Amino acid sequence: MVHYYDSISDELRDWALQQQVFFIASAPLSGKHINLSPKGLPARTLAIFDPNHVGYIDATGSGIETVSHMYENGRATIMFCSFDKSPRIMRWFCKGKVIEWDSPEFDMWLSRMDKKNIVGARTIILLTVFKVQTSCGYAVPQIVSSAIDPEYVLQGPRAYLKDRETLGHWAGQQVEKGTLHAYHQKMNTRSLDGCAGLKAARRANGENLLLNDAYIWIKRTTGQWQAMLLGAVLALMLMVSLRAATEIQGVRFPTHLRMLA
């Protein structure tokens, strides 16, 4: 049974932090790609400040979809699901913003989250949760261990979710070699649909942020030509109707408006 709430209760907060993975979905206003990213280590990377405000530490990756979408429109959905005996799916519908690693606010938010800085962290994603949804989760598979579930003891060892150390190890190597920010400059300046990515990486590449953001805005706006055409047609119809109404009432239509109509 699905349930909706206006905020994250204490019980749902505790349950979320007990999970080993969560997912974040986002999309551009226009473009083909809807992004969905898995995020591990909720207890180490995710902070719930209050029932409607959360944040997570975003580690360096080869893509920049979530960050780009946050900059463009701020929409995101966080999802948790249970893989143990008690099924549940929970979604947080959010509006968010980005705090980059070189921002004066980065360390302040890291302190507020009561988290250690993850090696290779590039941003903190801050989210305002405006709706919470829970549902049964009966279709989500259960991951069991023969060590704790007698039903599977005779079938030998069973799989379980184990946190990977690979990303932290890779990021640590990049930091030691001084190549992490060069990686950002190469991989994290644009999303798949051309939305703007990390500002620090764009500046380091010599990009004029104001000029390029204006270009991206114009490109996005003109890409929605159907809405622009509809607006123009409605404006023309309004002008014609206004002129007809004023003439019927014997009111002289202003010259400059007659020309527009």
Most distant CA pair in the chain: distance in Å?
94
Same domain, residue pair 157 and 34: yes
Q: What is the pLDDT of residues 195-207, one digit of tens each?
A: 999 999 999 999 9
Question: Same domain, yes or no, for 231 and 213?
Answer: no
Is the domain of 53 the same as that of 165?
yes
Question: Both 155 and 255 in a single domain?
Answer: no
Cα gap 166→159, rounded to integer Å: 19
Q: What's phi and psi for 25, nearest 5 deg?
A: -115, 140
* In a shared domain, residues 97 and 175: yes
pLDDT tens, residue by residue, 249-261 = 765 555 555 555 5
Same domain, 153 and 196: yes
Report the mean per-residue pLDDT for the chain: 88
Which pLDDT score, from 0 to 100, does residue 139 have? Answer: 87
Q: Are residues 241 and 161 in the same domain?
A: no
Identify whether residues 208 and 240 lie together within a single domain.
no
Q: In terms of domains, do 107 and 195 share one?
A: yes
State the helix-helix crossing angle for 180-187 and 166-177, rounded to 10 degrees: 110
User: Do 233 and 193 have their domain in common?
Assistant: no
How many domains is the chain partitioned into structurally? 2
- Find the CATH number of the domain harbouring 158: 2.30.110.10
Are residue 143 and residue 243 in the same domain, yes or no?
no
Adjacent-strand bridge partners of 135: 89
* Percent of the chain surpassing pLDDT 70: 87
Domain residue limits at 237: 225-260
Residues 215, 230 within the same domain: no
For 101-129, what is each residue's pLDDT tens digit? 999 999 999 999 998 878 899 999 999 99
